[in-house]
Structure 1
Amino acid sequence: MDKLRKHIEEIITVSDEEFAHIKTFFTLKRVKKHQYLIQEGDQANFEYLIMSGIFRMFYLDSEGKEHIVQFAGENWWMADYQAYFNEKKADLYITCMEDAEVLCMTLQGREKLSADLHKMEHFFRVKLTKGYVAQQRRIISLLAGNPQQRYEEFGKLYPHLMQKIPKKYIAEYLGVSRETLSRLYSANK
């Protein structure tokens, strides 16, 4: 739980008593490689804070093709937010890419914690805003950037992920073929 406190205190300061209260809203879950946190049709009961490991969020189109929405590593928050906040069934899948640990929080827990400690409401707002900005940047990159630009941006933003994620998934995330990714990789050596 020291990692959780450090993560929170990047944005707000909490006392020992406040942190003792905060941690009661989280449940630790160990996740094995290839295990799903959520699948399409599941009830999206949790938001996850990644403590270790890497996750891939994707959706499947009507032909069964996987489209990667997001990768998440340590200290990233992840959920099918549309389903989580609207208390609906998930449209997305979240799968573990290496053995990992996550902290799980329910929406009811999040709301109660925010009401109990308004500084946590601020913390969650800052985290959601940063996530929203990152998603907008990704959409603009997909709409306006060429494959070379998308590859370079991914490498600059997430160098630690570039080394850990199989190239087939990076290619999928960037919207390019595996062959194109190989050419981009060779051109950037």
Structure 2
Amino acid sequence: MREIIDLSDKTITIDRNEFLKVKGSIDTNVYYVESGSLRVFVLDNYEEQTIRFGYKENLIASLDSFLTGQPSDLFIQAIKKTVIKVITKPQIDHFLKTETNRVLWTKILENLVIQQMEREIDILTNSPKERYQRVLKRSPQLFQEIPNKYIANYLRMSAETLSRLKKS
């Protein structure tokens, strides 16, 4: 992944609660989180539904917009002050001119697909306890980086339920 990160020639800082991307915009960049944390969410009947997080050493993107060049329904917002490296689509396209780099990029995309499939299973798992345990096992660092209210939203449960599960 270092090869992808090294493509970046631009670092930006976004403040807590600031948006990196809003619904309806096109964003063909990939971002590497150097510090801080972000959340990706959609609005469903004016209710925010968190679908992904990005924190230190994660790649994050509005993948639908990146791949299609079309506007996305996703919002990306800083949870706390966040420093990110920006990698543009033209930089990635140039990088993909060699077979070795295409194989690396394919592995990164495959990993993102697997993460998304795990996320879908989490959502479809009925028991809040099972959802919590799955995410804790898969991403223990999440619980150090992200405030409980966002994790609870991600897990489709109340903050109180999450708090009870963490204590048990």
TM over 0.5: yes
Following TM superposition, the consecutive aligned residue runs of length 4 or more in structure 1 with deviations greater than 4 angstroms are: none
Write out per-residue CA displacement over residues 133-157 of structure 1, whole angstroms, 9 at most, x where no aligned residue. Answer: 1110111122135110111122222
Q: Determine if the alignment matches structure 1 residue 8 to structure 2 residue 2.
A: yes
Higher relative contact order at CA 8 Å, sep ≥6: structure 1 or structure 2?
A: 2
Aligned AA (1:129): E
Q: Determine if the alignment matches structure 1 residue 178 to structure 2 residue 159.
A: yes
What is the aligned-residue RMSD (CA, Å)? 1.9
Write out per-residue CA displacement over residues 94-140 of structure 1, whole angstroms, 9 at most, x where no aligned residue. Answer: 1111222111122222111111x332222211111111111101111
Match of 2:46 among 64, 87, 104: 64
| Corresponding residue for residue 88 of structure 1 | 70
Between the aligned partners of 1:24 and 1:71, the Cα distance in structure 2 is 22
Relative distance call for 1:119 and 1:164 in structure 2 (3 A) is same
Q: Cα distance, 1:45 vs. partner?
A: 2.9
Relative distance call for 1:24 and 1:139 in structure 2 (3 A) is closer
Percent of counterpart pairs with the same letter? 27
Q: Which runs of 5+ in 1 are unaligned?
A: 1-6, 10-18
Between the aligned partners of 2:103 and 2:128, the Cα distance in structure 1 is 37
Greater per-residue helix proportion: 1
SS at match of 1:54: strand
Question: Given the two structures, how large is their TM-score scaled by the length of structure 1?
Answer: 0.81
Match of 1:51 among 25, 28, 34: 34
| Corresponding residue for residue 40 of structure 1 | 23
Question: Given the two structures, how large is their TM-score scaled by the length of structure 2?
Answer: 0.90
| Corresponding residue for residue 113 of structure 1 | 95
Match of 1:135 among 97, 116, 134: 116
Aligned length: 168
Q: Which runs of 5+ in 2 are unaligned?
A: none
Match of 1:164 among 117, 142, 145: 145
Aligned AA (1:119): T
Which is greater in Rg? 1
Aligned AA (2:121): I
Between the aligned partners of 1:93 and 1:44, the Cα distance in structure 2 is 11
Write out per-residue CA displacement over residues 8-58 of structure 1, whole angstroms, 9 at most, x where no aligned residue. Answer: 26xxxxxxxxx9xx8455421122221211011122131111122111000
CA contact (8 A) 1:25 1:110 kept: no
Alignment of 1:15-34 (within 5 A): 23=6, 25-34=8-17
SS at match of 1:95: strand
Q: Cα distance, 1:92 vs. partner?
A: 0.3
Q: Cα distance, 1:173 vs. partner?
A: 0.4
Aligned AA (1:57): V
Relative distance call for 1:122 and 1:8 in structure 2 (3 A) is farther
